[in-house]
Structure 1
Amino acid sequence: MKATVQKYIREFKNELIELSNYIHANPEFGHEEFKSCKAHKDILSKYGFEIEDNYLDMQTAFKAVYNSNKKGPTIAYLAEYDALPGIGHGCGHNILGTTSTGSGIVLSKLIDELGGKVIVFGTPAEETNGAKVDMANNGAFDEVDIVLMAHPADEYYKSGKSLAMEAIEFTFKGKTAHAASEPEEGINALDAAINTFNNINALREHIKYDSRIHGIIKEGGKAANIVPDLAIAQFYVRATTKTYLTKLVEKVKNCARGASLAAGTELEITNYEASYDNLVTNNILNNLFEEKIKDMGIKNIFEPKEGFGSIDAGNVSHVCPTIHPYFSISPRKVVGHTVEFAKAAVSTYAYEQMCKTIGALVLVAVDIIKDKQLLADIKNEFVNAHK
């Protein structure tokens, strides 16, 4: 089977590189990825996938399905393709999305014989308002057996953890006044915002060490001689589990409530971006990917890095068994969200590793389709992990 998979990868390699290069040359922000989305849909349609446009009313999302019409599991690959302001594809989503689409196409050439169904989901805006959150909440993965994807990095790493995250916005409304002649007539919204930060800084002593709270003052007044009547503060609150995140978010909200009460302002609390669940990696699936990437010639795949970021694939992992490993795109260390990483994401080395990663992701799917007990074990682990 490995030789057959490699044959198909060689057959599609040039087209996949063209896809990745095109997306890299046309970076688009979240929910604005019209060119990138179309490019993915075009190649998937070419190879027999049925495309559902504007998936879940998101203009740059899609669902591409290839059905063997034989009984078997449903395997899904997740394609990302949004870019970053200023540095384009500094997270390498051009090659990430291509790896997922390429895996879907190669697997589609095998399942007419093996059985099952393959889906490639186009998932916009991972960097900001992750579409996978809405997809998970609206049933996109309810009938999916396994979800696979792999993210570019400086080395090969097994799938690990990510932090659950909530994006909270505090809007404080006060009253303007002349800051020098009649300050007593004003209600200072900026005071409330600043004291929110002070309250949160005091809270830090009493939160778990691996949690994170970080924020900015988005708006804090127009002129020094006018008491600010409006201040807006935005925070990311992160924790290792969704359960603890809920408790921590309430404490952060109380920090703002207390500050608002002290300053005499009105307070509005909203979410300015989607909230991300923590990633729960399926270990059986993870170990299977390690086995297959080594079969493709990779000698070392490292244990997961301790990460403090958040990804919308976390929400998917609470619906069905999921892995989110990493593959190397540079023979030397490169840091994500940099110009150097963006350059590496279209290198010859990166595309060699992309092909090996596609091979591993396809071989994982093949084993799951062929081995009913393996699939049952993966699902049992998923159930036990979410008790």
Structure 2
Amino acid sequence: MLMWKDTACSYIDKISNQLIEISDEIHRNPELALKEVIAAKLLADELKKAGFEVEHGVAGMDTAIVAVHPEQSKGPTIAILAEYDALPEIGHACGHNLIGAAALGASLALGSMKKDMPGKLVFMGTPAEEDIGGKITMVEAGLFKDIDAAMMFHPSAGYTMTGRKGLALTEVKIEFYGKASHASGSPEKGINALDAVIQTFNGINALRQHIKSDARIHGVITHGGVKPNIVPEFASADFYVRALTDEYRDELVKKLESCAEGAASATGATLKYEVGSPSYQSRLMNETMGDAFEKNLFALGEPIVPLPEGSGAGSSDIGNVS
């Protein structure tokens, strides 16, 4: 086992400049969800050169990848996951270029000595984490059915830890339909859809003191009217609802709906309430794998630096894999 680790580390050192260049190239060319053409090709090409059997466009997504090392024997099937999509306007602020390059490096290092190792090695390129949750699509397509263990890392600003929980997340879109009228000449004839959106936010703010401290409801107004002298006949908002468990997240989605229904009743507007799909599930950590990862970090001289107590958590489609 120790010899394998030493061999892997030596191999990573040998290809480190190449991995950094791949990471930088992905960073220089940020691509949004399901459009990660450059990133997917970069990763797939390197895997092909290393002898992996690469399948592009799996699960109906052009930029999704499954690459299997040809040396296979009895033992566990291990998947190393890569992300490589960017965010609108701010590019790779979440560091998915690093996730992709690190997953590639780990796969190449293990692949270089796979003939001496049991089991099956799989690289899985998972697009659109920032949007539709590509891993969810891949789970639903059955691509994780025969995977015994899956792992990935996510970069952080100065913190190193394992076992961090992830929040379940559901997106909710609300629309209100009212009646336009002149806001000064005949406001009494109008039904203000924007007022309904604002009242929904007010209801949520009143609700905050009665929800668990690790839960989150946050939103933005996506349409608020056309001109100040026209009573808005249409207004809309998008919300993310998050909680530490899937069950409590679902409970909060219903509470948000009650806030919107109350706003519709108060203003006379008509409500359209749409719960987005798919939802991100809460992340269930494998403590045994986490402990092993920590030991390897320690062996490499990387200190464990946890987040300060009380820090918030994010959400990811890796929860649906877990």
Contact 2:51 2:70 in 1 (8 A): no
Pick one of 112, 116, 124 that aligns with 1:113.
116
The one-letter amino acid of 2:219's match is: G
Are 1:74 and 2:77 an aligned pair? yes
Contact 1:128 1:273 in 2 (8 A): no
Are 1:221 and 2:232 an aligned pair? no
Moved more, 222-231 or 8-17: 8-17
Contact 1:159 1:304 in 2 (8 A): no
Give the structure 2 partner of residue 315 of structure 1.
320
Contact 2:159 2:307 in 1 (8 A): no
TM-score, normalisation: structure 2: 0.92
Q: Unpaired segments of 5 or more residues in structure 2?
A: none
Contact 1:30 1:128 in 2 (8 A): yes
Structure 2: how far apart are the matches of 1:231 and 1:124? 32
Structure 2: how far apart are the matches of 1:264 and 1:65? 58
Change (3 A) 1:75 1:304: farther
Pick one of 152, 165, 178 that aligns with 2:169.
165
Give the structure 2 partner of residue 84 of structure 1.
87
Pick one of 289, 293, 316 that aligns with 2:293.
289
Q: How much has 1:243 moved relative to structure 2? A: 1.0
Deviations 1:125-171 (A, max 9, x none): 22233212222333221211111111122232123101111111101
Deviations 1:92-140 (A, max 9, x none): 2111111011111211222222221111111122223321222233322
The one-letter amino acid of 2:149's match is: I
Are 1:267 and 2:285 an aligned pair? no
Pick one of 245, 248, 259 that aligns with 1:244.
248
Q: How much has 1:15 moved relative to structure 2? A: 2.2
Are 1:21 and 2:45 an aligned pair? no
Change (3 A) 1:119 1:304: farther
The one-letter amino acid of 2:165's match is: K
Structure 1: how far apart are the matches of 2:160 and 2:205? 36
Give the structure 2 partner of residue 198 of structure 1.
202
Q: How much has 1:88 moved relative to structure 2? A: 2.5
Pick one of 231, 243, 259 that aligns with 2:235.
231
Instruction: Using the aligned pairs only, state the percent identity.
Output: 46
Contact 2:126 2:134 in 1 (8 A): yes
Q: How much has 1:87 moved relative to structure 2? A: 3.3
Give the structure 2 partner of residue 180 of structure 1.
184
Which SS does the other structure have where 2:87 is aligned? coil
Q: Unpaired segments of 5 or more residues in structure 1?
A: 318-387
Q: How much has 1:273 moved relative to structure 2? A: 6.7
Give the structure 2 partner of residue 141 of structure 1.
144
Give the structure 2 partner of residue 347 of structure 1.
none
Pick one of 94, 110, 135 that aligns with 2:97.
94
Pick one of 33, 41, 59 that aligns with 1:38.
41
The one-letter amino acid of 1:38's match is: K
Moved more, 275-284 or 180-189: 180-189
Q: How many residues were matched structurally?
A: 316
Contact 2:26 2:97 in 1 (8 A): yes
Moved more, 236-245 or 267-276: 267-276
Q: How much has 1:274 moved relative to structure 2? A: 4.3
Give the structure 1 partner of residue 280 of structure 2.
276
Structure 1: how far apart are the matches of 2:41 and 2:163? 29
TM-score, normalisation: structure 1: 0.77
Structure 2: how far apart are the matches of 1:217 and 1:112? 56
Q: How much has 1:53 moved relative to structure 2? A: 1.4
Alignment RMSD, CA only?
A: 1.7
Give the structure 2 partner of residue 385 of structure 1.
none
Structure 2: how far apart are the matches of 1:135 and 1:212? 27
Contact 1:158 1:302 in 2 (8 A): no
Q: How much has 1:12 moved relative to structure 2? A: 2.5
Q: How much has 1:257 moved relative to structure 2? A: 1.4
